[in-house]
Amino acid sequence: MVSIILTINRRGIKFVASFNLNSLKILIMKKHILICINVLLISVSFAQNNNNNVENNGSQILNVSSSSRSYGKSSASFVNPVKKPEGSVYLFDDWNNRTIIHTSDQQKFSLKNINLNIQFNRFESKISEDSIFSFNINNIDRFVIRDRRFKNYYYNTTNRIFEIIYESGKIALLKGFSIQFVKGSPNPMLNRYSDKNIKKESYFVKEGASIRSIKLRKKDILKLLSPNQANTAQVFAKTNNLSFKNSTDVNRILTYAFSN
């Protein structure tokens, strides 16, 4: 009985191939060994060539995770491609998002490849194609991504990440995100063969420690203002062709109304 063990090291991982050649002839033995070795080498080469688009290296993430407080952890994620739902659970369409992280102990980190996982209500950084770093939002004050501010607030018995649309000393207008999972159906009348993830947005007002839901519409926005401020807001919106249904426009309207 003859056994051969082939060990290939790649990033600390060992691939071990064991071949039992007990009853094989030498010619067949060599042929089978060469085939198996080639398969292993091709697999390793394929894995190396597909590790693309890595923006955050290990040392950058280490600065975040090994600071005086814990800001997150890394993990490997393996996606089963079978029956993958249409639509992403991430807020941004891609990971190329330079971000400034403001921690609760007055530190700042600048990182790339960050996205908001709406399904799990957490910010993540893509370290490699199969590795994700998850941030601990309890020790982070806010994320600033593409000039958009995100903050964690306690709402409805749990922590939730909101985007800050407008903020003053009195109130804050927040945007929340959620994922609606729609199950596919073989019924041709429904025209829905695949499962789908649909991103939803909703709005909230924070006054003190209280957070309540609100519709992004004229009458609800004007209720946040005094009578004089409401009149000012309406004139300003009409003059500048602004919509009370658009969050960017509402930011401008509230900023002007509260400053006059």
From first to last of its 260 residues, the chain has per-residue pLDDT tens of: 433 333 334 344 333 333 343 433 343 344 443 433 343 333 333 333 343 343 465 555 655 654 556 566 555 544 444 568 888 999 999 999 999 999 999 999 999 899 999 999 999 999 888 899 999 888 899 999 999 999 999 998 889 999 999 999 889 999 999 999 888 777 766 667 688 889 999 999 999 989 999 999 999 999 999 999 999 999 999 999 999 999 999 999 999 999 98
- The boundaries of the domain holding residue 232 are 218-260
> What SS3 class is residue 121?
coil
Residues 114 and 202 in one domain: yes
Residues 197 and 98 in one domain: yes
Residues 35 and 123 in one domain: no
Which ranges in the chain belong to alpha helices (H)?
Answer: 26-49, 58-65, 218-222, 227-239, 247-258
Residues 195 and 86 in one domain: yes
Instruction: Give the predicted TM-score (pTM) of the model.
Output: 0.68
Give me 206's structure tokens: 């924070």
Question: Is 151 in contact with 161 (CB distance < 8 Å)?
Answer: yes
Residues 204 and 222 in one domain: no
Give me 65's structure tokens: 């995770």
Residues 88 and 156 in one domain: yes
> What SS3 class is residue 138?
helix
Residues 125 and 23 in one domain: no
Residues 23 and 132 in one domain: no
How many domains does the chain contain in total? Answer: 3
CA distances to 67, 90, 182 from 86, rounded to whole Å, are: 38, 12, 10
Residues 149 and 224 in one domain: no
Residues 79 and 151 in one domain: yes
Residues 135 and 11 in one domain: no
Residues 18 and 64 in one domain: no
